[in-house]
Structure 1
């Protein structure tokens, strides 16, 4: 081969290789830097519970039910994952499907009909998610929607200056009680940062949590605003207790006694049950709850106890279908059915463990 032709061919080959390398680098730089892997639980939710419209089914029941609880938890997860496109899809779901005329959210959609009742805990969770979205992505639409919900809570869902469990638009009546596990201090403080609540109003709400009496280290279930008294359940519901303890920690309330009981019981038995008899502290049910374990993971992380969080996480994962050949891969199943709550909370806990580098 002529040397000049050989040099030309070599030059062209070099240019092709360099061009290929440059194209690969462009492709790599085009990928979002914060792109996160899809977790097993996320795969299950998007493939088995989520509809084409972006709604999350509560279960596999033939008649689909959708909850604002699921919407808020999924938005919470997407914030932790920093997935703006999916978050914006859920904001559309909020507008299209859950928003009521007074701007509160319907707590349930069933038979294609929106309930006229809201749920304080879900509305607060969505407000908090929207505020976090505003801080992450700086788009006015997030804060605007948060203000609308916050203002509606102030206008409709309060009794004697206190937030209550729900407002019923059908009867124009507001609950006279507040469930302690609904009082998320960070979410309540967002109502002030949105200039809807004053600092005094925030302090009034949090005082219910701060003044709550304890029995055997456990928190009351609810507070009656009209009667000014607290009520305890006959059973210890771990979902309620761990949520309340988690929020109490954020109010600088000592929760070491309940955490000690949780750790001792877990380490002795290797598991926790969903409910316990209050008097004997013996299990009142025979089931384990993935949501209980997920909340305990978040609570342990909040107390800076990553070792215990990891122990609980490992037990939680044993309840998940991790075989990719199984039809409900990634799900937390109860025989042939499931519940969105028992899948969304474990997903949030797992993402938080990743974010905190407790797992990889």
Structure 2
């Protein structure tokens, strides 16, 4: 018994020591008062998904895949945490690994092959993070990079005055479709502040959200710019819907029906599922998603539903490995694997709850 207790004490000490080392490596902020402790999810990402070069693996697969999505989410987290040294490391990763010759980001790097296709949503997220970083730390490199990406979006990633899903540099083709969950008004407003977009161009993007038809309160998945037609999927992908609803709030669109549905389902079931049938609003899958819960939290905070956000947070944390003795402490695991998205989004949500003093 004494040996077992002694062993556990040593393991806990090692975990704390490792966490402290990570904190020292990552936290030498320009403003000491902004220092924040390392959250369990951050510990998991830096110890199990991040390479020595600062790139975040998508999963534990032997075939390493790196996404601009992970880069942008991590940069978003770091500005919320006010962690300039780590942010600057990611700026270097952005320039050396993801930024293509025409200043858009490769959406995927796999087997050392860099895709020549970008993803609008990821590029916008990076621009927004760079602009936040510039406001925090006044480093001209942030805004210069943001402006280069913004200009490339205007030059390459638009069709008939509307931002589209992607630009394929190999084929020199621009998508003619925009996924509604890609239309981030706050990020697009940064294109205006950078003097790349006009207010009229901004309004054209917002109109896609503002004019979208609804089915049972839910948004279409995409808009065909050529055909001027919206498309619905037969299944409600809650991640897409939550992103769209969150962004629509910034476009002055009423999304109260979705919030009411979320609260009712969560209160009745004690959980939310990843997908639902549009026709019946019944679950189409049996799994819960930490990313869904993270987006519900951010959406609820936007709607000043702090109690709901807190309840969902506790459900989300129940999916996380919180035992420091477990090998993947801090991770959101799917059996023996994980996905960067399902760790980064919950981390952002948890940091935002802390920033707004909803949790301590």
TM-score (norm 2): 0.91
Q: CA RMSD in A?
A: 1.1
Helix, strand or coil at the partner of 1:95? helix
1:6-31 CA-partner distances (Å, limit 9, x unpaired): xxxxxxxxxxxxxxxxxxxxxxxx98
Indicate whether 1:277 and 2:271 are aligned: no
Distance, in Å, in 2 between the alignment partners of 1:243 and 1:266 is: 18
Distance, in Å, in 1 between the alignment partners of 2:220 and 2:117 is: 24
Distance, in Å, in 2 between the alignment partners of 1:287 and 1:49 is: 23
1:27-52 CA-partner distances (Å, limit 9, x unpaired): xxx98111100000000000000000
Helix, strand or coil at the partner of 2:33? coil
Per the TM alignment, residue 252 of structure 1 is displaced from its structure 2 partner at its CA by: 1.5
Distance, in Å, in 2 between the alignment partners of 1:205 and 1:46 is: 36
Residue of structure 2 in register with 1:83 after alignment: 83
Residue of structure 2 in register with 1:139 after alignment: 139
Residue of structure 2 in register with 1:185 after alignment: 185
Number of positions where the alignment pairs a residue of Structure 1 with one of Structure 2: 332
User: Structure 1 regions of 5+ residues with no counterpart?
Assistant: 1-29
Residue of structure 2 in register with 1:257 after alignment: 257
1:271-307 CA-partner distances (Å, limit 9, x unpaired): 0000001111111111100000000000000001100
Distance, in Å, in 1 between the alignment partners of 2:34 and 2:186 is: 25
Distance, in Å, in 2 between the alignment partners of 1:251 and 1:63 is: 40
Residue of structure 2 in register with 1:120 after alignment: 120
Residue of structure 2 in register with 1:320 after alignment: 320
Distance 1:197 1:277, change over 3 A: same
Q: Considering only CA atoms, is the larger Rg found in Structure 1 or Structure 2?
A: 1
User: Structure 2 regions of 5+ residues with no counterpart?
Assistant: 1-29
Distance, in Å, in 1 between the alignment partners of 2:204 and 2:280 is: 35
Distance, in Å, in 1 between the alignment partners of 2:227 and 2:353 is: 41
TM-score (norm 1): 0.91
Distance, in Å, in 1 between the alignment partners of 2:60 and 2:285 is: 23
1:105-140 CA-partner distances (Å, limit 9, x unpaired): 000000111100000000000000000000000010
Residue of structure 1 in register with 2:7 after alignment: none
Residue of structure 2 in register with 1:299 after alignment: 299
Residue of structure 1 in register with 2:343 after alignment: 343
Alignment of 1:157-236 (within 5 A): 157-236=157-236
Residue of structure 1 in register with 2:334 after alignment: 334
